[in-house]
Amino acid sequence: MHKDRGICKGVCKEYKVRKPRDGTSRYLSGQVRCQICGVFITRQGCHDREENPATDETVDLYCNCCNCMVRSKPRNKPGMKLKKTPQEEYEGLKKRLEK
Ligand SMILES: [Zn+2]
Ligand SMILES: [Zn+2]
């Protein structure tokens, strides 16, 4: 069933969304980011762990296209800092390389 996991099959094109013009957060407008496909898609383009269509309450979202987990910001964690400063990123990278 999941032998195509991790491969973009082009299905995501149907669910692809454009950047909101008013600058609203994509995550707030229910969009999720698939890193494999490299696109933002709607929740309609996702399924949950049990392969049911994703709903607004679904936390674990998987891309219908590549079957990989996609990121959606949990609604109970507002104002979470997602962006790292270049310095933090550098430190994190350094730590990873030292291991
Ligand atoms: Zn795709
Ligand atoms: Zn995908």
Tell me the C-alpha distance between 33 and 86, whole Å: 22
pLDDT of amino acid 63: 95
pLDDT value of position 75:
53
- Ligand that lies nearest to the alpha carbon of residue 13, given by its number in the listed order: 1
**pLDDT for 20:** 63
Eight-state DSSP code of residue 71 = B
Give this prediction's pTM: 0.63
Q: How far is the CA of 16 from the centre of ligand 2 (A)?
A: 10
Ion ligand 1 residues within 5 Å by Cβ: 8, 12, 37, 65
Q: Decide: 64 and 11 in contact? Cβ < 8 Å.
A: yes
- ∠ CA(41), CA(61), CA(2), 5° rounding? 100
pLDDT, one tens digit per residue, over 41-88 is 999 999 999 999 998 888 889 999 999 999 776 555 555 556 778 888
- Return the percent helix, strand and coil in the chain, to nearest 5: 20, 20, 60
Contact between 63 and 12 (Cβ < 8 Å):
yes
Question: What confidence tens digit (pLDDT) does each residue in 9-46 have?
Answer: 999 999 998 766 777 666 666 788 899 999 989 999 99
